[in-house]
Amino acid sequence: MEPIGSRQAQAKGERTCALIVIGNEILSGKVRDTNAYFAVRELRAVGVALKRIVVVPDELAAIAEEVRYCASRYDVVITSGGVGPTHDDLTVEGVARAFGRRLVVNPQLEQIVCEQFGGASQAAGMKMALTPEGAILNFGGELRYPTVQVENVYMLPGIPQLFEAKLLALKDRLATDPYFMRAIYIRAPESVIAEHLTACLQRFPDLMLGSYPILGNPEYRVKVTLESKDQAYLGAAYEYLMQLLPEGSVVRTE
């Protein structure tokens, strides 16, 4: 595969990613998307910072606009869906339009399509042999079809089994420095701890600090998470916040 760019290398080892899910079936509730949550966890586990998830309809202009927007702002863009043979499969054409490239028949894909489809269905299947000009084919894993790549955009199928297999095959390529995390479970309400979180961030501005209230849990009211790619920095921020929090407010830590 092609080397991965670094358009937004902000923090230490930061690699940013956007995921574009394409499909009316998600937006109309006929299908519940599972690919985004799968991708979120797999990417996080290899240190990739997913910064944006977008679900757009099967419309050429919407796909092209979103791909263009994401490709210029994030290191890696992954699309899910819209790569099959029917009228509502518009991702490949949308990516071509985003980069101002022509759609051309790719000889390697043409051969795979001819082997897979026969007779009357070959004409429709041939749509799957088209790629934007200059596309790269990434073979790997156990799947017959390669993942088509144009610049920093990887086009994955929407069917969950295929999306997951292709993302796993891609994952090692995307891996970068891992995240470290600590969590503090707190029985006080958010309004009580808000000032301490703000103070902690003022002292450790590069910390990723999250505050997540939960309703109806008898054990705790807020889960606070601290994250960094720098383990020592994380440790210092954690100690600082712990001594700020009111006595008796911490239920447990992780």
Positions touching a copy of itself (CB under 8 A) are 24-33, 36-37, 40-41, 44, 49-58, 62, 84-88, 117, 120-125, 127, 159, 161-162, 179, 189-195, 197-198, 201, 208-216, 225, 227
**Closer of 57 and 141 to a copy of itself (Cβ):** 57
Q: What is the CA radius of gyration of the chain?
A: 22
CB 230 within 8 A of CB 207: no
Beta strands in the chain (DSSP E): 15-22, 48-56, 76-80, 103-105, 130-132, 136-138, 147-150, 153-156, 180-186, 208-213, 222-228, 250-253
**Closer of 134 and 212 to a copy of itself (Cβ):** 212
Give min distance, CB of 42 to a copy of itself, in A: 9
Give min distance, CB of 134 to a copy of itself, in A: 26
Q: Give the 3-state DSSP-derived string for 143-176, with helices as H, strands as E and coil as C.
A: CCCCEEEECCEEEECCCHHHHHHHHHHHHHHHCC
**Closer of 3 and 191 to a copy of itself (Cβ):** 191
**Closer of 87 and 144 to a copy of itself (Cβ):** 87
Give min distance, CB of 226 to a copy of itself, in A: 12
**Closer of 101 and 127 to a copy of itself (Cβ):** 127
| Tokens matching residue 109 | 């894909």
Give min distance, CB of 135 to a copy of itself, in A: 21
CB 116 within 8 A of CB 144: yes
Give min distance, CB of 2 to a copy of itself, in A: 25
DSSP 228: E
